[in-house]
Amino acid sequence: MKRGTTVFLKITVLLIGATVLALCIFLLPWLANYSVKMFPEYAYLQYPVLIGLYVTAIPFFIALYQALRLLSCIDNNNAFSELSVKALQNIKYDAIVISALYIIGAVSLLLLNALHPGIALIGLTIILASAVIAVFAEVLQRLLRNALDMKSENDLTV
């Protein structure tokens, strides 16, 4: 892969991270306060929901860091390495954790009769997107593992 492509992908990953960080810092607290003003009967959920969203941001940022590590491996012509396999494995686990946390949050809100259909749709979208990312990372991890096995087998043959 050309160096320009990986630089573009790194910049994209950093922009995604900066956007989500800005949303976490500025938009989420504002939305929480606005929701409390609009729906005072759900004011008791303001901080638990905010904490839940911030907790799900942690594996998201870890996955972005792993994506940057993977792109650095590709940049250094070291794409077929254990480090790349490990980065894909960590991305897969982070995606699974995000899906699980959103499932737990949706079930909790459902049990409290506070799951609005719009919020449920957004949560379902995030759950499905994270699941797709986990499956895709698993497939890439297996392909990379097979390529590494073939490479080491060929190195031993020669």
- pLDDT tens track for 63-96: 999 999 999 999 998 888 899 999 999 999 999 9
Q: Phi/psi zone of residue 15: left (φ > 0), alpha (ψ -120 to 50 degrees), beta?
A: alpha
- pLDDT at site 90: 97
Secondary structure tally for the chain: helices H, strands E: 5, 0
- pLDDT at site 158: 57
Q: Which residue has the higher pLDDT, 3 or 66?
A: 66
DSSP 8-state secondary structure symbol assigned to residue 26: I
62-71 long-range contacts (CB < 8 A, ≥24 apart) are 62/90, 62/94, 63/90, 63/91, 63/94, 63/95, 63/98, 63/133, 64/13, 64/16, 64/17, 66/90, 66/91, 66/94, 67/13, 67/91, 68/10, 68/13, 68/14, 71/6, 71/9, 71/10, 71/13
- pLDDT at site 2: 62
Identity of residue 106: A
- pLDDT at site 107: 96
CA-closest candidate to residue 69, choices 78, 60, 58: 78
33-54 burial code (b ≥16 CB/10 A, e <16): eebbeeeeebeebbeebeebbe
Global pTM value: 0.90
Is pLDDT above 60 for 1? Answer: no
pLDDT in tens, 9-61: 999 999 999 999 999 999 999 999 999 999 999 999 999 999 999 999 999 99
pLDDT in tens, 85-135: 999 999 999 999 999 999 999 999 999 999 989 999 999 999 999 999 999
Identity of residue 40: P
- Check: CB of residue 92 under 8 Å from CB of residue 138: yes
- pLDDT at site 80: 86
- pLDDT at site 156: 73
- pLDDT at site 77: 87
- pLDDT at site 136: 97
